[in-house]
Amino acid sequence: MDSLSIALIVVCVILVCIIVWSFSRKDNQTDNASNEEISQLQALISEKENTISSLKNEQKEMSEKSEALITQLKDKNIKELKASADRISELEAGIQKALAGGADEIIRKKLAEVDKLTSKVKKLEEDLEEAEDEADSMKKKTKQLQIQNSELQEELDNEIRKGKKLLEEIGDTKSRLEQVEKDFNIRQEALDFVKEILTAKLTSDKSVNNLYQTVDNIVDYIRGDVRDSIISIYNIPAEHQQAIFGSELFAWAIAKKKSWIQGKTSIAFVGEFSAGKTSIVNRILSQDDPNVPRLPVSTKATTAIPTYISGGVSTFYQFVTPGNELKGISENTFKRVNKDVLDQVKGVSSLIQYFVMTYKNPNLNKLSILDTPGFNSNDSEDAERTISVINECDALFWVFDVNAGTVNRSSIKIIKENLKKPLYVVINQIDTKSKSDVDSVENLIRKTLQDEGIKIEAVIRFSKKEPLEKIMSPISAIKHDNSREQYLDEMISMLSEKLKDLTNDTKEAHKKSNSLESKSSRLIDEFNRAIAALGDDCVTVSNIPQYNSRFFREDDFRISQAQYNEFITTLERICQGRLDTLCDKYNQQMKTVSEMQDAWNEHSSALYNQKRIEECLETLTRLSKKLPK
């Protein structure tokens, strides 16, 4: 039994050493604990639990053995005591019998045997008492072991709690490290994204470059020579100048550079998050034909920047800068565009207006689709980017999830204040609700928009099970608004009209100058005739007095009464008629010369203006022929 106690003590010492070792191991653990260390810690705890379990089993076994031993001893001693008592009784009976028979020798033998049995009984009683003492000692030791076991169990529980807490801390640390790593990867993607955007080069497509160059040349020429020529001829108010040579011109240039929407019906899709917008766009792109490729990019949960999707000869990923330059990017960079990445890039609107993605799809020959971030984004840049391009489309399709059942108020406010295009409402995923529920949602949407004064063209109920025609029919009925594309044609038409007017003005001015020139020539002739008449009268006057030669005094001139009368009449005609006529003819001539000079100036100015407008018309016509039809 003593060896068992020693064994228990040794086991306890070993267990304490293990616990101390585990404490030292825990204290030496660092925040960078690996999965292997966690496994070791878990194994150590498991080993401790196994040790305690083994100790408990050994304790239980020892207790059972001691109790069995005590019971066995008790049973043995009781049997022997009973046998001895029986034997004593038998001997006593023999003694009584012997006393009656007088057999002394027999009595002595029997008494000696009784003494031996009595000694043996006493010895057995002592052994029994010693066994009971040993059993009590074993019970005490068992109790001590139970106390030690309880203490060890408590320490183990504390260790387990500490281990679990450490595991939780390690788990939290791992989660933080994973989040840090995720944030780092997002930042790295954002840096790579910004790097490629900043280093992106103008598109290498020769036809696009020629288009951009031609449009820029036309804009520069209209804002330069055409504007100077028109405002120098016509008095145009400043606000009209700003419209004609500013906003309207730039709107035309922007629209003309968007070759992906030229001559196509352009529609924009907006919607709340998870409204099923992408599934609708993909059905339109594929027209339910599995052989037609869908959107050739991995779709994101949220469109981060407005994106035009259009048909082309091959797949291109491009973006338009705030300066309306078209630059190319790689597919990987395009796929990086998501909210997580863009949240790391402040002021992205100063880099990108919108993306343009073209790929070969026959269903996009006459259709261009604008996918937008939606109006309910918390980012003001998202709304600004969307608004800047939304009104360039021919119609807006607002997609609602029938399960949402409400209309976003911020979206209503933006649409009400900025939308200028026909609005269609698409209630999507109607296959998930009953008809009465769908009716209720539609009635709510109609009433909400009507109360806000927002007009809608139609409400389209749609789902993946509905025929595509339900949405394609209203799309096909949308008329393409080419008013912005007509600016150049209208400018050329206006110059043609102005040229006709100026040509007529030139002809009229030339006719007027010719008329005045003829009048001047006539006045010159009349002036010359008046001078000749004056000369004739002067000759007549000079011939009236007759020379009279005298002998006794100086010669003189003699005039008769009739000659005198003629003389006076001629002088009066000279003074009152001929001179007035000459003055009048002179004044008329001077006035006519002045008018003729003005007419010549007017003619020269009209001819100069005519030439300027004619040159502007010829140049614009020539430049317009370089634009793709």
Query: For residue 434, what pLDDT is reported?
Result: 92
Could you give phi then psi for residue 478, rounded to 5 degrees? -75, 130
* Residue of higher predicted confidence among 413 and 226: 226
Average pLDDT over residues 95-115: 60
pLDDT in tens, 507-525: 998 998 899 889 888 888 8
Identify whether the C-beta of residue 121 lies closer than 8 Å to the C-beta of residue 81: yes
Per-residue pLDDT at 164 exceeds 90: no
Rounded Cα–Cα distance for residues 426 and 272 (Å): 12
> Residue 532 carries which side chain, given as an amino acid letter?
A
CA distance 417 to 238: 27
Q: How many other C-beta atoms are found inside a 10 Å radius of the C-beta of residue 301?
A: 10
Identify the top-confidence range among 106-120, 132-146, 498-512: 498-512
Per-residue pLDDT band at 439 (split at 50, 70, 90): very high
Region 412-438 average pLDDT: 87
Residue closest to 372 by CA, chosen among 392, 359, 350, 387: 387
Highest-confidence segment of 253-262, 270-279, 615-624: 615-624
Pick the closest to residue 280 from 424, 417, 172 (CA basis): 424
Is the pLDDT confidence value at 301 over 50?
no
| Mean pLDDT lowest among 155-159, 217-221, 607-611 | 155-159
The segment with the largest mean pLDDT, out of 68-72, 321-325, 378-382, is 321-325
C-alpha dihedral sign at 342, 346, 347, 351? negative
Q: Is the pLDDT of residue 605 over 50?
A: yes
Per residue in 545-574, pLDDT (tens digit) is 777 776 667 777 777 788 788 888 888 887
496 pLDDT exceeds 90? yes
Residue 580 has what pLDDT?
Answer: 82
Q: In what order do the strands lie in the sheet with 316-320?
A: 326-328, 316-320, 354-359, 307-311, 367-371, 265-271, 395-401, 423-428, 458-461
Q: What percent of the chain has pLDDT over 70?
A: 73
H or E stretch covering 45:
helix 35-101
Question: What number is the average pLDDT over the span 450-455?
Answer: 89
Average pLDDT over the chain reads 78
Which distant-in-sequence residues (6+ apart) come within 8 Å of 448 by Cβ?
407, 412
> Of 75-79, 222-226, 595-599, where does the model show the most confidence?
222-226
Which one, of 569, 563, 570, lies nearest residue 548 by Cα? Answer: 563
pLDDT for the residue numbered 499: 93
Give the position of tokens 């073209």.
Answer: 358
The identity of residue 269, as a single letter, is: F
pLDDT at 98 over 80: no
The model's pTM is 0.58
Average pLDDT over residues 164-190: 81
- Measured CA angle at 222 (ends 218, 227), to 5 deg: 175
> Is residue 112 scored above 60 in pLDDT?
yes
Q: Render pLDDT for 329-364 as a digit per residue (tens, 0 to 9).
A: 888 888 777 666 666 666 666 788 888 888 888 888
Q: What pLDDT shows up at residue 297?
A: 45
